[in-house]
Chains A and B, each alone.
Chain A
Amino acid sequence: MTFYGVIFYLLAIVVLVSTLLAITRRQVVHAVVYLILSFVTTALLFYLLGAPFLAVLEVMIYAGAIMVLFLFVVMTVRLEPQEGTKGETLRQWLPAIVLSFISFSVGGILIFETPTSRLVLNTAVATPMAFGHYLFKSYWFPVEIVSFLLLIGLVGALYLGRQESKPSREKGENPS
C-alpha cells in the first residue's frame, strides 16, 4: 500500500465514522457539528483526488455556509427533544437499514464485478486556472442557468421566510 493509499483509507474511516455519528445523534446541534467534521475531511479527500479548487469550495460552501445556516435554523426553531420510545425507534430504523443494506450489497458487488474498477488511480492535479478555463470555455451556459437557480432559491427563501404582518391571516390557524 502506498503512502497516498494509507492517507485515503484514514480519511475514509474518519468520514464514515463522523457521518454515522452525525445521523444517529438525538440533538440536531451535535449532528451538525459532526457533519462539519465529515465535510472538512471530504474536502481533504477532494484534495487527495486532485481537485484543490473543489476542496476549497467544499470547506466554504458545505462546511461553512450550509452548516452555519443549519445552526441558525436550529437556534430559531423550537425542537422537541425526543423521537419516541425504544420499540418505535427500532421500528422506524430497521426497515430503512435492511433495505439500504440490500441495495448497498448489490451496488458493491456490481462495482467489484466491473474489471475497470480495479485500475489504480494515478495522482494528478487540476489547477484552479485550468479548471476555470475549462468551465467557462465548455460550460458557460450551464453556469448561467445555475446562477438563475441560485437567484430563484434566494427569492423563494425570502418569500417563505417573510413575517406575516396582517393579524387577519392568523385567524384560520389552529396550532397542534
Chain B
Amino acid sequence: MIVPYGNVLLLAVTLFFVGAVCAVARRNLLMILIGVEVMLNAAGLALVGASLKWQSLDGQVFVLFIFAVAASEVAVGLALIVYLQRRTGSVNADHYHRMKG
C-alpha cells in the first residue's frame, strides 16, 4: 500500500506546471531548456504511476521512450544555444530582435 493514484498524479501535475512556469517566465535560453526537462520528467512520473495502477508494463516502456526523446532534444537544443551564442554573442531570448522592423 503506497498512496492513492491521485496523489502521484497531483505531484506530477505540480511538477509539470513548475517546469512550465520556468519555461515561460525565464529569458535565459538555458533556463528555458531546463524547464522543458522538468516537464518531461513530470510526464515520466505520471506514466510510472499509471503503470503501477493498471499493473501493466506499457507505461514504463513509454518512459523509456521519453528518456530517449529528452536526451536527443537536449543535445540538439544545447548545440543550438552554443551556435546562437557564437553568432550573436548572447543567450538572452530578448536579444534576438534582428527581424524587428
The yes or no verdict on A and B being binding partners is: yes
Q: Is the CB of B57 within 8 A of A126?
A: yes
Against A, the Cβ 8 Å flags (1 = close, 0 = not) of B24-62 are: 111110110111011001001100110111010100110
B99 within 8 Å of A (CB atoms)? no
CB-contacts of A68-117 with B (<8 A): 69-70, 73-74, 76-80, 83-84, 92-93, 96-97, 100-101, 103-104, 107-108, 111-112, 114, 116-117
Cα distance, A153 to B68, chains bound together (Å)? 10
Chain A contact residue count (CB 8 A cutoff): 89
Q: Is the CB of B27 within 8 A of A135?
A: no
Against B, the Cβ 8 Å flags (1 = close, 0 = not) of A18-29 are: 011011000010
Q: Is the CB of B91 within 8 A of A79?
A: yes
CB-contacts of A122-173 with B (<8 A): 122-124, 126, 130-131, 134-135, 138-139, 142, 146-147, 149-150, 152-154, 156-158, 160-161, 173
Chain B contact residue count (CB 8 A cutoff): 72
Q: Is the CB of B65 within 8 A of A142?
A: yes
Q: Is the CB of A100 within 8 A of B21?
A: yes
Task: Known A51-B63, A76-B82, A126-B57; judge A70-B18 contact (CB<8 A).
Answer: no
Cα distance, A136 to B80, chains bound together (Å)? 34
Pairs of residues from A and B, 9 with the lowest C-beta to C-beta distance, nearest first: A153-B72, A117-B6, A23-B22, A160-B79, A157-B79, A96-B25, A96-B24, A100-B17, A146-B68
**23 pairs, A vs B, C-beta closer than 8 Å:** A4-B1, A5-B3, A23-B26, A23-B34, A28-B28, A31-B31, A35-B34, A58-B44, A73-B81, A77-B30, A79-B91, A84-B27, A97-B21, A104-B14, A107-B13, A112-B10, A117-B9, A118-B4, A121-B49, A122-B52, A153-B71, A153-B72, A156-B76
